[in-house]
Amino acid sequence: MTSDRIIIAGAGHAGGSAAAMLRQLGWKTGITLAGEEPLPPYQRPPLSKAWLKGEADADSLALRPLGFYNDADIELRLGTTVTKIDPAAHQVTFGDGDTMHYAHLILATGSRARRIPLPGIDQANVLELRTAADADRLKAALGPGKRLAVVGGGYIGLEAAASARSLGAEVTIIELMPRVLARVACEILSNFFQDFHRAQGVTIELGAGVRALEGHGTVTGVRLADGRLIPCDAALIGVGGVPNEELARDAGLACDGGIVVDLTARTSDPDISAIGDCTKRPLPLYHRSMRLESVPNALEQAKQAASAICGRPPPAPEIPWFWSDQYDLRLQIVGIPFDATEIVVRGDVAAGKFALFHLTEDGTVQAVEAVNASTEFMGGRRIIQRRKQLTAARIADMAVTMQELAA
Amino acid sequence: MPKITFIEHNGTPHTVQTAVGKSVMQAAIENNVPGIDADCGGECACATCHVYVDAAWIAKTGLPEPGSQEASMLSFAAVSQPDSRLSCQIKVTEDLDGLVVRMPEGQH
């Protein structure tokens, strides 16, 4: 049986954007957007920030108003997922047993929080932060005088810690590595964020393993490997994400720590695309492939998939970028510091306004990490795009403007 | 509800209605206007909702404060011009009924 329908498996930022972009590019026939959560596509970044602090409502979280899907003739199937793909028959099976044929399938299955098999992990108030429901549970556990233990000093943990502090909670961050953000940022940045969080009253335990979560049904403390107990009313586990690639793997699609795609978001099956957190994608600027967990990546790949399906030329490649808001700090990162051998500081780290330029041996700028320094972030993006080579002395010299550096 | 017209780089106009209090970026996203990416969702962190404000409307929308977050984001946005704004930073008011903005060729 042939179909002229596009099915999108996963209704997060990537899936929701792909559906909208297909309509923008003139796709006329059926689109089905299926997602496990009960909500239409919404923005996840505010969950650890404005949403947690009660500064955003459900309307402002929604990617598009509910009426949009009806107006755009996009069938929303919420509370269900694609559980099986039959590539030969061009057919998917949903969780409720329904089957449907597709002309093209887009996998936007996202990533899930990494689970660590610790004693006591299944108790109440042992939380993770991926979904709006997770954020609601965390919000309910926070408040003045409440004690939050954060296991994992990554972006989610640090953002949640900052929001929890602003709600008056006491926060302890427990990190296995010798510094926070160890997997994703350089040491200067890690130290800066550690100092800043500590100045805000957050306790940070570094090089600290977790042995168990204590409690009798509800968590009451985190037992460290060295035997100490960190008492808490809730524990947030934020130790990274895992790609939801099982559906693709079961269907025989190439996976390698993410569903392998090309720059048009195609998988190893030409009639199946994959976009967002679940993919391992090429980064042409760096001649590498990797998995990225970010909204800009989800949107870029949604654009790639929609363009390819609609027969449009591929969009210009973008440079990966990330942002994080904590307290009154805005961190913006552009590029990835592959093969960088030198870090040059521009600005004043102690004053909380600076940028770190990551250079390779020949002075090529690979990445810029900017704290409260948007001009450096934007200028850095242009410098990276143009593969410019700069000297450390010029970058560090504040008398040389970013306009001059990027020229 | 105020009307806003977005003109794509290729000249295609899109006129939409939106509620007072929303941002011009939200008006575009809610109506699926092509050409506004809005990666960061309105946090003034990405400069992918860049528009050029029609000359007749500059007085009403204003320009970014020098030294502001918006101004620094725009300093290197794709093809920045003197009439550039980040549409997430323009709040829709009754006064802006009829606003016309144009979009750059790309947002990245």
Spatial neighbors of B10 by CB under 8 A, at least 6 apart, are none
Which residues, at least 6 apart from B11, have a Cβ–Cβ distance to it below 8 Å? none
Let me know: does B61 contact B85? Beta carbons within 8 Å.
yes
Going from N- to C-terminal start, the domains of chain B cover 3-102
Please answer yes or no on whether B46 and A382 come within 8 Å at the CB atom: no
Residue keyed to tokens 């923008």: A24
Q: Tell me what the pLDDT averaged over chain B comes to.
A: 92
The pLDDT tens digits for A240-281 are 999 999 999 999 999 999 999 999 999 999 999 999 999 999
* Cβ contacts of B69 on chain A, cutoff 8 Å: 330, 374
Size of interface A-B (CB pairs under 8 A): 61
Query: Which pLDDT score, from 0 to 100, does residue A56 have?
Result: 87
Kindly determine whether residue A45 and residue B40, on different chains, have CB atoms separated by under 8 Å. yes
From chain A, the residues in CB contact with B47 under 8 A are 378
Contacts of A169 (CB under 8 A, 6+ apart): A142, A143, A144, A145, A146, A147, A148
Single-letter amino acid code for the residue at A318: E
For A334, the closest chain B residue by CA position comes to B46
A185-217 per-position pLDDT tens digit: 999 999 999 999 999 999 999 999 999 999 999
Which residue of chain A is at minimal alpha-carbon distance from B70?
A374
pLDDT digits (tens, 9 = 90+) for A304-323: 999 999 999 999 889 999 99
Distance in angstroms (rounded) separating the CA atoms of residues A341 and A351: 25
ipTM of the complex: 0.91
Q: What percent of chain B has pLDDT over 70?
A: 100
- Could you give the C-alpha distances from A283 to A122, A261, B10, in angstroms and in order? 38, 11, 29
Q: How many CB atoms lie within 10 A of CB B95?
A: 12
Query: Looking up tokens 């250079």, which residue turns up?
Result: A359
Residues of B in contact with A325 (CB under 8 A): 43, 45
Pairing of strands A353-359, A342-348: antiparallel
How would DSSP label each residue in A318-377?
Answer: ---EEEEEETTEEEEEEE--TT--EEEEEEETTTTEEEEEEE-TT-BEEEEEEES-HHHH
Cβ of B30 within 8 Å of Cβ of A64? The answer is yes
CB-CB contact of A322 with A300 (8 Å): no
SS3 A20: helix
Pairing state of beta strands A342-348 and A365-371? Answer: unpaired
pLDDT per residue as tens digits for the range A320-375: 999 999 999 999 999 999 999 999 999 999 999 999 999 999 999 999 999 999 99
Are A265 and A273 in contact by the 8 Å Cβ rule? The answer is yes
Q: Residue A15 in contact with residue A109, Cβ under 8 Å?
A: no
Per-residue pLDDT, averaged over B68-74, amounts to 91
Residues of A whose CB is below 8 A from B46: 296, 321, 323
Question: In this complex, do A374 and B69 lie within 8 Å of one another by their Cβ atoms?
Answer: yes
B92 has a chain A CB within 8 A of its CB: no
Question: Chain-centre distance of CA A166, in angstroms?
Answer: 23
List domains and CATH numbers for chain A.
6-112+242-309 (3.50.50.60), 126-237 (3.50.50.60), 328-406 (3.30.390.30)
Which residues are within 8 A (CB) of A340 and not within 5 positions of it... i.e. 6 or more apart? A358, A359, A360, A366, A367
Whole-number Å distance between alpha carbons of A12 and A44: 8
| Nearest chain B residue to A298, by CA | B39
Instruction: Calculate how close chain A gets to B58, using CA atoms only, in Å.
Output: 24
Contact B76 A321 (CB under 8 A): no
Which residue of B29, B31, B76 is in closest CB contact with A378?
B76
Q: pTM of the predicted model, to two decimals?
A: 0.95
Q: Residue A1 — pLDDT band, cuts 50, 70, 90? A: low
For A132-188, the pLDDT digits (tens) are 999 999 999 998 999 999 999 999 999 999 999 999 999 999 999 999 999 899 999
Q: Which residues pair with A7 in a beta bridge?
A: A32, A105
For A98-124, what is each residue's pLDDT tens digit?
Answer: 999 999 999 999 999 999 999 999 999
The set of residues, in sequence order, having a beta carbon less than 8 Å from that of A2 and lying 6+ positions away, is A90, A101, A103
Cβ–Cβ below 8 Å for B32 and A45: no
Nearest chain B residue to A401 by CA: give it.
Answer: B75
Query: Looking at the predicted structure, is the pLDDT value of residue A2 above 80?
Result: no
Contact in structure between A15 and A108 (CB atoms under 8 Å): yes
A161: distance to nearest CA of chain B, Å?
A: 20
Residue A69 sits at φ, ψ, to 5 deg, of -65, -35
CA atoms within 13 A on the CB side of A111: 27
CATH class of B3-102: alpha beta
Interface of A with B (CB under 8 A): 20, 23-25, 43, 45-46, 63-65, 68, 72, 295-296, 299, 316, 318-319, 321, 323, 325, 330, 332, 374-375, 378-379, 381-382, 402-403, 406
